[in-house]
Amino acid sequence: MDQATFTLVFLAVLFFLLASGLWIGLALIGVAYIAMAFFTTRPIGDAMVTTIWGSSSSWTLTALPLFVWMGEILFRTRLSEDMFKGLAPWMMRVPGRLLHTNVIGCAIFAAISGSSAATCATIGKMTLPELQRRGYPEDMAIGSLAGSGTLGLLIPPSIIMIVYGITADQSIGQLFTAGILPGIMLALLFSGYVAIWSLLNPGQVPQATEQYSFADKIFMSRHLIPVVMLIIAVLGSIYSGVATATEAAAVGVVGAFALSALQGTLTRATFFDSLMGATRLSCMIFFILAGAAFLTLAMGFTGLPRQLAQWIDGMGLAPWMLIAALTVFYIILGCFLDGISMVVLTMAVVLPTIQSAGIDLIWFGIFIVLVVEMAQITPPVGFNLFVIQGMTGKSIFYTGRVTFPFFLLMVVAVVLVYAFPQIVTFLPSRMIPNA
């Protein structure tokens, strides 16, 4: 069987297994098993056990369930309500007024969550009812929430960054640091769009009903102190070199428990629910990563990634053309797969090509996060759209339509980080090394 035929068979088997409803981890292992059986002579059982154990016993992987648990704990606190109280007074004179609480609230919560869906749900359960009560347009309220919720993937700590770092063998701490400036940039793009839209549609934004003095704003900002302290503890320890990403995750869990206890939301039920929620999500991710590791090994034996990289090299694509092609590829893939699956399914084939093109892998990690963010708001499989649908009862295609401007802003963000790679690389280059 020649390489082209094998590639078609490989893709056909993979998509058949995924379409059948089989768990993604099992589908990856099944495809890898078939590839090993037909194209290698190595004992399959020995290779599978060794690879899965090696991928699952990585110390770096410890950070993932801890950050997931931290997000689950905070999801069950009054954090979003306090954030709204602290942010709302400052937004009254800004074009768009309280619509900006979706953007800024998601940006702040993203810095302590790591999950796009958790960010969207936590902020949305507070802002959507309040914005509706005050008469803000539903389209912009829902669109800005769904778009801004994707910041949970870009602003560290990010679960997707951990998955990419493990798959590509890159520093989690450097990836976290690299996501800070692009995350702020994207939040500014979102807020800028909200402000311009409100200036063009002044009749749709309700007039301010409350007046706050500067002293009142400062006083209301006290509600932001707990979340700011937690962000400083987690990200500051990584950036300063005091702690590794795994150690910072442990700090975050302890801080989340302390915050929950101070708010009076730490009960036996919330502790158990957060622990079980984190366990389920972490096990799912671990299983996918284990299957992806075995698939990567099988692909290495078949030589598919190497030959594909050589084929792309032979086309003589400029780096910008390669990035543009990958952007389109991931946008299409994101219509059918979740972000974690997109990363682990493609890295074995894409990374050799990226390395041969001389593209920095830390920069590429942020690029991957940006295109995965787009997948969160593209129907029919857009996880943020599912979250919004559950909260509002609106159809997923309606939510996708009102979120489309924010999708276009993410495309703009990709263009900006390509044109100005220092947006990504500046902070990691100045990061203090740690263990």
Q: Is the peptide bond before 95 cis (omega within 30 degrees of 0)?
A: no
Q: What is the DSSP string of 78-130?
A: SHHHHHHHHHHHHHTTSTTGGGHHHHHHHHHHHHHH--HHHHHHHHHHHHHHH
Instruction: Look up the pTM and report it.
Output: 0.77
173 token code pair: 């701490």
> Is pLDDT at 192 greater than 50 in this prediction?
yes
Residue 2 located in a structural domain: no
Mean pLDDT of 154-158: 85
> Is pLDDT at 191 greater than 80 in this prediction?
yes
CA distance 10 to 200: 51
Amino acid at 415: V
Total domain count for the chain?
1
Cβ-in-10-Å burial (0-12, 13-18, 19+) of 8 comes to exposed
Work out the percent of the chain whose per-residue pLDDT is above 70: 91
Q: Using 50, 70 and 90 to split pLDDT, how confident is the model at 387?
A: confident
CA distance 190 to 323: 23
Residue 30 φ then ψ, to 5°: -65, -45
Tens of pLDDT, residues 287-296 = 877 887 787 7
Residue 399 located in a structural domain: yes
Residue 103 φ then ψ, to 5°: -70, -55
Question: How confident is the model at residue 435, as a pLDDT?
Answer: 41
Residue 4 located in a structural domain: no
Residue 373 located in a structural domain: yes
Residue 158 φ then ψ, to 5°: -130, 130
> Is pLDDT at 323 greater than 50 in this prediction?
yes
Question: How confident is the model at residue 2, as a pLDDT?
Answer: 57
> Is pLDDT at 5 greater than 70 in this prediction?
no
Mean pLDDT of 376-398: 78
> Is pLDDT at 32 greater than 80 in this prediction?
yes
Side-chain half-sphere exposure of 213, counting CA atoms within 13 A:
3
- Ranges of H-type helices in 303-379: 304-315, 319-334, 339-356, 361-375
Write out the residue range of the structural domain in which residue 153 sits: 42-429
Mean pLDDT of 273-299: 81
Residue 35 located in a structural domain: no
CA distance 291 to 252: 29
Rg of the chain (C-alpha set)? 22
Amino acid at 357: A
Residue 24 located in a structural domain: no
Mean pLDDT of 229-255: 84
Tens of pLDDT, residues 127-140 = 888 888 888 899 99
For the chain, the average pLDDT equals 83
Q: Using 50, 70 and 90 to split pLDDT, how confident is the model at 142?
A: very high
CA distance 431 to 361: 16
How far CA 61 is from CA of 65, 79, 347, in Å, comes to 8, 27, 17
> Is pLDDT at 310 greater than 70 in this prediction?
no
Question: How confident is the model at residue 126, as a pLDDT?
Answer: 76
